[in-house]
C-alpha cells in the first residue's frame, strides 16, 4: 500500500505568517490528493482537492500544489481560526490513506 | 446541496455488533465510490473500508477484515457498515465519505457517528 508522510508533525507561527505543510507519497498518486483542516471535535473540512483545486467557500489564503509524489499546502497569512490539525489524503485508489497530521498553533 | 446523513452508532459491548448507515442526497449516488473513515479519541484519521459504484470491490484495512462489512443500496442512496465482533480499539468517530468515481470533483463527508465499545 502507498504510504503518506506529512511534515512537520507540528508547527507554531505568528498571525500573518506564511505556513507550508508537505505531504509525500511512497508511490505516484497522480493529482488525487486532498487537504483537510480539522478543529477539535469537528468534522474535517475539505480545503483542497485534486492537489490544487480550492474547495468552494474556502479562503483564498489556502493553496495546494504538487503532483505525483510530492505535495504542498500553503497558508499565505496564518489567521487565529487556522489553529487546527491538517491532514493530506490520497484517494486515487483504495486504500484512501491519510497522512499522520500536522498540528498548527499560534505563537 | 450534497448531504451525507449518518445514522447508527452508540454503545456496544465487546464482541457485539452495530450497523452504521449513511444516506446521500444532492448527488447521483451510483456515480460515487463510497467509504468509511474513523478517528479514535485523540488520534488521526484512518481509512476503514470503501466500495465501488457497483459494489463489486470492497477493500478494508487489515484490523477490521473478517469483522466489518461495507455495502450499499443504490436504489436507496444509502451506504452501510456492518460491524461485528467489536473490540475496544474500534471505539472512534466513524465518518462516511463520497468520492466521484474518476476522482474528479470534491469529496464529501458525513457528520460522524460515535461508536463506543465498552463493557
Q: What proportion of chain A, given as a percentage, has pLDDT over 90?
A: 100
A-interface mutation test, from B6, B37, B44, B98, most A Cβ less than 10 A away? B44
Residue of A nearest to B99 (CA): A91
User: Tell me, what's the pLDDT at B103?
Assistant: 84
Q: How confident is the model at residue B36 (pLDDT cuts 50, 70, 90)?
A: very high
pLDDT tier at A45 (50, 70, 90 boundaries)?
very high
Contact A22, A41 (CB under 8 A): no
- Residue B104 pLDDT greater than 90, yes or no: no
Work out the minimum CA distance from B15 to partner chain A, whole angstroms.
Answer: 26
In terms of Cα–Cα distance, which of A28, A21, A25 is closest to A87?
A: A21
Interface contact A55, partner B, CB < 8 A:
yes
**Out of A30, A92, A98, whose CB is closest to B45?**
A98
Q: Which of A24, A34, A35 lies closest to A2 in space, CA to CA?
A: A24
Q: Is the pLDDT of residue A11 over 90?
A: yes
| Mean of pLDDT values over A68-87 | 98
Q: What pLDDT shows up at residue B101?
A: 87
Q: How many CB atoms lie within 10 A of CB B12?
A: 19
Q: What is the number of other CB atoms lying within 10 angstroms of the CB of residue B64?
A: 22
pLDDT cut 70: percent of chain A above it: 100
Residue of A34, A46, A94 with shortest CB distance to B50: A94
Closest by CA to A27, choosing from A74, A90, A100, A88, is A90
Residue A60: the pLDDT is 98
| Amino acid B102: pLDDT | 87
Q: Is the pLDDT of residue A33 over 90?
A: yes
Peptide bond into A8 cis (omega under 30): yes
Residues of A in contact with B37 (CB under 8 A): 96, 98
- Residue B99 near residue B35, CB atoms below 8 Å: yes
* pLDDT tens figures, B63-81: 999 999 999 999 999 999 9
DSSP label at B60?
Answer: B
Amino acid at each position: 500500500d502507498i504510504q503518506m508522510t506529512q511534515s512537520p508533525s507540528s508547527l507554531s507561527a505568528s498571525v500573518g505568517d506564511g505556513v507550508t505543510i508537505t505531504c509525500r507519497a511512497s508511490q505516484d498518486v497522480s493529482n488525487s490528493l486532498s487537504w483537510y483542516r480539522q478543529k477539535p471535535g469537528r468534522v474535517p473540512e475539505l480545503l483542497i482537492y485534486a492537489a490544487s483545486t480550492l474547495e468552494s467557500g474556502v479562503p483564498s489564503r489556502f493553496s495546494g500544489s504538487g503532483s505525483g509524489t510530492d505535495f504542498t499546502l500553503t497558508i499565505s497569512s496564518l489567521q487565529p481560526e487556522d489553529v487546527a490539525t491538517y491532514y493530506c489524503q490520497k484517494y486515487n485508489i483504495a486504500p484512501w490513506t491519510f497522512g499522520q497530521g500536522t498540528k498548527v498553533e499560534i505563537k | 446541496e450534497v448531504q451525507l446523513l449518518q445514522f447508527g452508532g452508540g454503545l456496544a459491548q465487546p464482541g457485539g455488533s452495530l450497523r452504521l448507515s449513511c444516506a446521500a442526497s444532492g448527488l447521483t449516488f451510483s456515480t460515487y465510490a463510497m467509504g468509511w473513515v474513523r478517528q479514535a479519541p485523540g488520534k488521526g484519521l484512518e481509512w476503514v473500508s470503501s466500495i465501488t459504484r457497483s459494489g463489486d470491490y470492497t477493500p478494508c484495512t487489515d484490523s477490521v477484515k473478517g469483522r466489518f462489512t461495507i455495502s450499499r443500496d443504490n436504489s436507496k442512496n444509502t451506504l452501510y457498515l456492518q460491524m461485528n465482533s467489536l473490540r475496544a480499539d474500534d471505539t472512534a468517530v466513524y465518518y462516511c465519505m463520497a468520492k466521484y468515481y474518476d476522482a474528479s470533483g470534491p469529496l464529501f463527508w458525513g457528520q460522524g457517528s460515535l461508536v463506543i465499545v465498552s463493557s
